[in-house]
Amino acid sequence: STDGTSNWSETKPGKSILGRHYPSDQTTNVTDTILELVGRKLYDTPNHPIAITRKLIESVFPPPVYKNHIATYPVVSTKDNFDVLGFPEDHPGRSRTDTYYVDSKTVLRTHTSAHQHSAFQHIADHEENGYTICADVYRRDSIDRSHFPVFHQMEGARTWQLPPKNHYKETRLQQQQRRAQMIRGSIDAMPKHGLEIIDEAGPYNDHTNPIQIQHDPDDSQLVVEHLKRSLEQLVQKVFTAAQEARPDQKQEQLKVRWIEAYFPFTSPSFELEVFWQGEWLELLGSGVVQQSILNHAGLNDRIGWAWGIGIERLAMLLFNVPDIRLFWSQDERFLKQFQDGKITRFESFSKFPPCYKDISFWVRPSPASASPIGAESSSGVAVAAGGDSKKASPAETQPAAFHENDIMEIVRDVAGTLVEDVRLVDEFVHPQNGKKSLCYRINYRSNERTLTNEEVNELHQKVTDKMMQLPIEIR
């Protein structure tokens, strides 16, 4: 340019993602450590448990009713990831503490629902009824054996074009029966399962989990019943597969329950949980699709359901994998245990010793310093969010709020898969000055080898140094 300053887009550093370049801006928070995991295609790696699990889910939701898609490119617009799904402007899922922004308008998708709109349009254009989509997804999230910042989801949806209600020769009851029969027929066609499933949610709840006003309550309840029975088929298949893998041992009955949930893009909404290692583990979110979303895709005359499942979570149950980090392992002792089309019980190789390091600090008093401690951060469910976590810089007059996910991100960035979990172990408020003190315990432990003391000390020092960037005072 004429004034001698160089072109902004040439000098501004950026991110390269699968061959495309994105100039960074002040919103960018995606790290190189995360980008190293982009493009691994575990869902398409022969003999990998993620691929085997993907195929097992597809076998429960097969063509022609469900068209099975894979979405390989992980960068999507905020419009597709949030706006078209009805996320309100202030939804915590949108914040930089929860989501990896490539730039202010572009994110690494946080869920497969980012492709829901185009999948529904595809259905409309091709006169199909349903789909599944498998993809790698990305979230700034807590660190433990069932959470990893890169994971895999599968989304499924099914729609029905119900016959019109205004058939003049029929009574209202006859119309209702004919409409119901469409969905009832496919519910009855599913094989009965012998699982004991606790339904704590019911088909809807007027106050907390309502039927949409556009929907006939009978239609909505049938769609919910079809949704639940379909996903229970999947759970049954997991259970049977696990049993067949170990015919010598009687498998303990899986404990499974439905609970109410909230997503901006479904109502009523439900989550399915499984009892695993002494706790309820969330497998999936689901619900009756918001009619406005179907209408927007040209499916005005249809009603339908959708769900989104964590593939790792299901794979952990299927193969008895105790730690989500193992799916990223390149260790033959892990990889050689799995074979396409087979469900086998993973035999853990010896567990290496843990090394615990604590980090204590004062949180700068700030109006929005709450962190969603104990809540599953989620692309759907509204949890208390800590607001924006822009790195505090001298230029900033307003101190940024502390958010727990910022610690998680630093630990993942420094130590990658060498950390098993990070837990809040102590929290108190100073009686005089009202400042809050937090203590987090980091468990450094490799799945593949014994870490040396020096190595752990070095990692922990790096974590401590990087934490200086946060709006906290190390104690």
DSSP secondary structure string for all residues of 155-192 = EEEEEEEPPPS--TTS-HHHHHHHHHHHHHHHHHTSPP
The answer to whether residue 159 forms part of the interface with ligand FA5 (CB under 6 A) is no
Interacting partner of 74 out of Mg ion, ligand FA5, none (Cβ under 5 to 8 A depending on kind):
none
User: 179, 89, 93, 130: which is closest to 294 by C-alpha?
Assistant: 130
When CB distances to ligand FA5 are compared, the closest residue is 310
43: how many CB neighbours lie within 10 A of its CB?
Answer: 21
Backbone angles phi, psi at 69, to 5 degrees: -110, 155
As measured in angstroms, the least distance from the Cβ of 167 to ligand FA5 is 32
Contact call for residues 30 and 108 (beta carbons, < 8 A): yes
As measured in angstroms, the least distance from the Cβ of 282 to ligand FA5 is 4
The answer to whether residue 378 forms part of the interface with ligand FA5 (CB under 6 A) is yes
285, 372, 386, 387: residue in contact with ligand FA5 (rule CB under 6 A): 285
The answer to whether residue 212 forms part of the interface with ligand FA5 (CB under 6 A) is no
- The two structure tokens encoding residue 236: 């049954």
> For strand 150-161 and strand 355-363, is the pairing parallel, antiparallel, or unpaired?
unpaired
Contact characters 247-266, ligand FA5, x per CB under 6 A: ----------------x--x
313, 325, 403, 412: residue in contact with ligand FA5 (rule CB under 6 A): 313
**DSSP strand E in 328-371: where?**
355-363
| CB closer to Mg ion, 106 vs 378 | 378
As measured in angstroms, the least distance from the Cβ of 136 to Mg ion is 18
Ramachandran sector of residue 18 (left: φ over 0; alpha: ψ -120 to 50; beta: rest): left
| CB closer to ligand FA5, 112 vs 344 | 112
Measured at the CA of 284, the angle between CA 277 and CA 321, to 5 degrees, comes to 35
Contact call for residues 374 and 422 (beta carbons, < 8 A): no
As measured in angstroms, the least distance from the Cβ of 139 to Mg ion is 11
Residues with Cβ within 8 Å of 218's Cβ and at least 6 positions away in sequence, in order, are: 176, 179, 180
Return d(Cα 210, Cα 227) in angstroms, integer. 16
Stretch that binds ligand FA5, among 30-38, 149-157, 207-215, 364-372 (CB under 6 A): 149-157
Burial class (CB in 10 A: 0-12, 13-18, 19+), 297: buried
User: 146, 228, 226: which is closest to 195 by C-alpha?
Assistant: 228
As measured in angstroms, the least distance from the Cβ of 41 to ligand FA5 is 17
As measured in angstroms, the least distance from the Cβ of 276 to ligand FA5 is 11
Interacting partner of 148 out of ligand FA5, Mg ion, none (Cβ under 5 to 8 A depending on kind):
ligand FA5
Return d(Cα 48, Cα 56) in angstroms, integer. 12
Return d(Cα 168, Cα 419) in angstroms, integer. 66
As measured in angstroms, the least distance from the Cβ of 137 to Mg ion is 12
Return d(Cα 389, Cα 409) in angstroms, integer. 12
Q: What is the dihedral of CA 375, 376, 380, 386, to 10 degrees?
A: 50
The answer to whether residue 155 forms part of the interface with ligand FA5 (CB under 6 A) is yes
| CB closer to ligand FA5, 197 vs 436 | 197
The answer to whether residue 74 forms part of the interface with ligand FA5 (CB under 6 A) is no
Q: How many residues bind ligand FA5 (CB under 6 A)?
A: 27
67, 91, 96, 147: residue in contact with ligand FA5 (rule CB under 6 A): 147
As measured in angstroms, the least distance from the Cβ of 263 to Mg ion is 8
Stretch that binds Mg ion, among 144-152, 281-289, 356-364, 445-453 (CB under 5 A): 281-289
The answer to whether residue 387 forms part of the interface with ligand FA5 (CB under 6 A) is no
| CB closer to Mg ion, 290 vs 378 | 378
CB-based contacts of 76-79 (< 8 A; 24+ apart in sequence): 76/106, 76/107, 76/108, 76/109, 76/114, 76/115, 77/105, 77/106, 77/107, 78/104, 78/105, 78/106, 78/107, 79/105
CB-based contacts of 389-397 (< 8 A; 24+ apart in sequence): 389/95, 389/96, 389/97, 390/96, 391/469, 391/470, 392/469, 392/470, 392/471
As measured in angstroms, the least distance from the Cβ of 381 to Mg ion is 5
The answer to whether residue 82 forms part of the interface with ligand FA5 (CB under 6 A) is no
The answer to whether residue 28 forms part of the interface with Mg ion (CB under 5 A) is no
| CB closer to ligand FA5, 23 vs 322 | 322
- The two structure tokens encoding residue 219: 């239609």
As measured in angstroms, the least distance from the Cβ of 377 to Mg ion is 9
The answer to whether residue 42 forms part of the interface with ligand FA5 (CB under 6 A) is no
As measured in angstroms, the least distance from the Cβ of 423 to ligand FA5 is 15
Helix (H) or strand (E) holding 264: none
The answer to whether residue 379 forms part of the interface with ligand FA5 (CB under 6 A) is yes
153, 209, 269, 378: residue in contact with Mg ion (rule CB under 5 A): 378
Chain contacts with ligand FA5 (rule: CB under 6 A): 111, 113, 139, 141, 147-148, 151, 153, 155, 263, 266, 282-287, 306-308, 310, 312-313, 324, 378-380
Chain contacts with Mg ion (rule: CB under 5 A): 285, 378
